[in-house]
Amino acid sequence: MRQLAIPTMSEDRDFSALPLERTDELPPIRTLAGKYRLGRLLGEGGMGSVYEAEHLGLGTSVALKLLSERFAADPVSLTRFRREARLAAAVRHPNVIAVTDTGTDEFGVPFLVMELLDGESLASWIRRYGSISPTLAVAVTQEILAGISAAHDKGIVHRDLKPANIFLARQKDGSYCVKVLDFGISKLAVDNFDPEVTADGAVVGTPLFMAPEQASRLPNLDARVDVYSVGAMLYRMVAGRMPYPAAPFESSFAQLAKGHPLPPRSVRPEISNELQQVMLRAVDVDRDRRFRDAHEFREALDRAWPSASALHPIRLGGEDESSGDSREFYVPQISSHTPPSLTPRESAGPQAAPKPTREERQRKLALAIAVLLPAFILGMWGWRAMHPRQVDANRAHRRAAEMAGSGLVAHARKAVRIGVTAYMPKTLVQEQKKSLFDYLEQHLGRSVEMVVVDNYVDLADKLFAGEVDVAALSPYAYVKAKRRDPTLSVIATPVTRIGATHEGYVLSRVSSNIRRLQDLRDRVFCYVSPTSTSGYLYPRALFIREGMDPDSFFKATRFTGDHLAALSALKSEACDGAVVYANILFEARDHGLEPESFRILATTDRIPNDAYCLLDKGSNRAVLPALRAAFLSLEPGGDAARRVFSHGGQMIGFTQASDADYETVRNVEKILESHD
């Protein structure tokens, strides 16, 4: 076989003109069992590798898992690999990866053929987002349990459920289907396999998500080990941590033995007590107190958090924005550091001269100072003697320029008036905002006045009338005001403990028999106000999407004026259902309302937080930079923000915002307009 003639780099030749000889033989693309042509490597595991492959007869793409050669001569590994193929193929369910074929290559190494998936593992997903909304976490868990239920119906116990073995598979319509993978150490509960293969006397599985009885090498493992693993994954998704905190993995078993998991509501207070009890029961160290199998676990989840059932098929944030149905369900992790804005450098172009060296720059600077400084001093001395009045005028101009540079020229003798709405009783709003306004006053070096207005419409009118300088407008009020005057500019948006966006919750009382949206038919329903984004507009769009006409579905609708009043009206049975913004549940207990007494029926799309904005024209252009700097100095996680928001409320700082952040509000607005 001739070799390609490849010249060395030391040869002084024009390589582009060299002809390359063709080889008589090229390494063939490997084909297994005469019908699967191997393609790119998709991933490698402890026992083998997974490749993309083409079925030559059908022309379809598949995933092919090939056992590592070093295990091919090991009887235990061979048996375990073949059992994975047999058990996975026995479970036919949309939430379990489909195994379509098995075979051996020309060297006798076994392989199994599976459906080819597009997406990512649950492990990589929760690593990226930290924790996600309870509604989405429950929806994902429901699909995991659906697949595991099919396995349990066949008497198959998975025994190695963990985020790395759960795959979020993207479908053609942009939705996601949860797939359970890797039945490699599964066993049939009714079979008696060789102990070396089933490893009843060995710790087989992943310690972090392993049931205590499995970690303790107890015999007769059953479906309850899978219940524990799925419960641990649900806890990890919701709380952002494991139920039994332990530093190194080797101490996990000791923590399990204590049997005292951290209550998830201590990390995520917005979840219901009902959901917390389901989560704690799933990870109980005593398997006799756990759910019997995946079926029972799933039914309990449906009762505890029924709104999750509306999320099937699952859609993740940012995935199909053109359809208007994309939703952000993850909980953003607030960084303690926000990167500074970067200004693109101007290119010097292809003819740019080389930069002078440091020594050359220093010599030129010294020469300029020596020549020009004496002349400048003499000239200024003579000019001051001849024009004393002009000198005084220049001083006045400099003072004015300094004030303009600091952004305080627009209202040099007046307070900065910042308008907020009474989304709660006015006294509570004033109390919550006091530390923020004190800080802004100190940072700006001038008086800052809080103007509390009844609703967003009046607040926008006051902004346009010049009665307030800055307005904290709701997303919908901002969109309408921006349409009214395009010069409206966003200074910043607040960040709460659940991020720079929030949700609206449609609620009922736990004590009632209203468990889903459809149960609200011909009932009394409470909104907050016609101008509330989370308390009226987004919920109406949600009802329309669910096929409910919000104008005829309810027996009667009422407006309570603020979110706390809506929650109180629901508690007092003045209405059967109500909608509030999600953060109010964090604060409910402070006002004598127990959040666990409410059931979340549905969750709206993610809503951007309020827009702190002003009209970017006239004298406001001078004050804008100083105000923006003051708000953005309260960076979430920074020292200043921790001091200002140490009172325990939901706000933790401010972040940059732009008009584009409110485009989702305009999409909801279109839904409402098309309905009207």
What residues act catalytically? 160
Phi and psi torsions of 600, nearest 5°: -85, 115
**Which structure tokens are listed for 456?**
């967003």
Which helix (H) or strand (E) is 471 found in, with range?
A: strand 470-473
Asked if residue 235 lies in contact with residue 473, where contact means CB atoms within 8 angstroms, the answer is no
8-state DSSP, 100: E
Cα–Cα distance list, 423 to 400, 429, 581, 592 (Å): 39, 8, 10, 18
Distance CA 403, CA 528 (A): 43
8-state DSSP, 347: P
Nearest by Cα to 287 from 246, 231, 354? 231
Distance CA 508, CA 488 (A): 38
Cα–Cα distance list, 647 to 23, 440, 564, 582, 633 (Å): 76, 16, 19, 19, 18
Distance CA 371, CA 221 (A): 92
Asked if residue 455 lies in contact with residue 535, where contact means CB atoms within 8 angstroms, the answer is no
Upstream peptide bond of 539 is cis (omega within 30 degrees of 0): no
Asked if residue 21 lies in contact with residue 5, where contact means CB atoms within 8 angstroms, the answer is yes
Contacts of 422 (CB under 8 A, 6+ apart): 429, 452, 453, 454, 455, 561, 562
**Residue where the block lists tokens 């070799």:** 3
Angle at the Cα of 431 from the Cα atoms of 430 and 432, rounded to 5 degrees = 95
Distance CA 467, CA 460 (A): 10
Asked if residue 578 lies in contact with residue 566, where contact means CB atoms within 8 angstroms, the answer is yes
Nearest by Cα to 467 from 479, 488, 452? 452
Strand partners, 524: 556
Name the H helices within 311-425.
Answer: 358-386, 388-405
Would you report the helix, strand and coil content of the chain in percent, each value rounded to 5?
40, 20, 40
Contacts of 253 (CB under 8 A, 6+ apart): 207, 212, 215, 216
Distance CA 259, CA 261 (A): 6
**Residue where the block lists tokens 């079979």:** 191
Distance CA 132, CA 586 (A): 17
Name the H helices within 130-272.
Answer: 134-153, 195-198, 212-215, 224-239, 252-258
Residue type for position 406: S
Distance CA 53, CA 64 (A): 6
Cα–Cα distance list, 610 to 354, 475, 478 (Å): 49, 6, 8
**Which structure tokens are listed for 534?**
């989370």
Pairing of strands 156-157, 187-188: antiparallel
Distance CA 415, CA 417 (A): 6
Residue type for position 243: P
**Residue where the block lists tokens 């107190």:** 289
**Which structure tokens are listed for 236?**
């990890």
Angle at the Cα of 382 from the Cα atoms of 377 and 383, rounded to 5 degrees = 100
